[in-house]
Amino acid sequence: MEHVLGFVALAAGLIIGLGAVGACIGIGIMGSKYLEAAARQPELMNELQTKMFLLAGLIDAAFLIGVGIAMMFAFANPFVLK
């Protein structure tokens, strides 16, 4: 039983850690592409900025959903038999 809880803790850590890495890489790539596009066409900077912040929110939301799922498995795991 305790080895199952250890695997659940490991899985929750991996979900959170890999989700954070993916979100950071995604926001970094998106930010660099925004700067490139704004440098090429400065007149579109306001429209691009709006889209960039919308996408940043969606990327963060996907990460936070993963955190929520990991917390559910950590605190109310449906797979552990009692």
Q: What is the structure's pLDDT at 7?
A: 84
Q: Which residues are catalytic?
A: 60
Low-confidence ranges of the chain (pLDDT < 50): none
- Residue-range domain boundaries for the chain: 1-74
Q: What is the structure's pLDDT at 28?
A: 96
CA atoms within 13 A on the CB side of 43: 0
d(CA 56, CA 17): 18
Q: What is the structure's pLDDT at 82?
A: 62
**What is this structure's pTM?**
0.79
The fold adopted by the segment(s) 1-74 is F1FO ATP Synthase (1.20.20)
Q: What is the structure's pLDDT at 76?
A: 84
Q: What is the structure's pLDDT at 2?
A: 61
d(CA 82, CA 76): 12
